[in-house]
Structure 1
Amino acid sequence: MKVKFNNTEVETSAQTVLAFLAEQGMENKTGIAVALNSSIVSKSNWSTQNIQEQDSIMVITATAGG
């Protein structure tokens, strides 16, 4: 299925947020937040939150700096 990942259309076979992050090599990355269709998905729900065709997944990485 096709989803938007950080505003870029990608093909995925993942059914959950966690499976999608694993496809992207990000499942164990720290300091990230995930939004699905503009709603934050808490890390505790990544494994149960389903994704569907044309969903928008945004991953934001925290960075330190001043």
Structure 2
Amino acid sequence: MELKINNNIKQFDCNQITIQELLDLELPSKQNGIAVAINQKIIARNNWDSFLLNQNDEILIITATQGG
């Protein structure tokens, strides 16, 4: 499966993957303070376990930062 994650194309050896499974692979230890958009639509965190990604989906992972 090919996905575009934050403007980078990545290949995965599977036919189906959920948002949570993707995050477990891409950000295994840094999942607090993030938001995920699929094809320019924000997906609520409580749907990450069940939301299946499709070939060529565009995923934007937004990480909160601290500043002052």
What's the TM-score once normalised by structure 1's chain length? Answer: 0.89
Distance (Å, rounded) in 2 between the aligned partners of 1:41 and 1:34? 6
Q: Look up the SS of the partner of 1:19 in the other structure.
A: helix
C-alpha displacement of 1:27: 6.8
5 Å-filtered alignment, 1:30-45, equals 30-45=32-47
Distance (Å, rounded) in 2 between the aligned partners of 1:56 and 1:6? 8
What's the TM-score once normalised by structure 2's chain length? Answer: 0.87
Q: Name 2:48's counterpart in structure 1.
A: 46
C-alpha displacement of 1:29: 1.5
Aligned residue pair count: 66
Q: Contact 1:18–1:27 (CA<8 Å) still a contact in 2?
A: no
1:10-62 CA distances to partner (integer Å, 9 max, x unpaired)?
01235111111111134762000000000001100000111000000110000
- Tell me whether 24-33 or 46-55 shows the greater mean CA deviation: 24-33
5 Å-filtered alignment, 1:1-66, equals 1-12=1-12, 13=14, 15-26=17-28, 29-66=31-68
Runs (5+) with no aligned partner, structure 2: none
Q: Contact 1:16–1:48 (CA<8 Å) still a contact in 2?
A: yes
Higher fraction of strand: 2
Runs (5+) with no aligned partner, structure 1: none
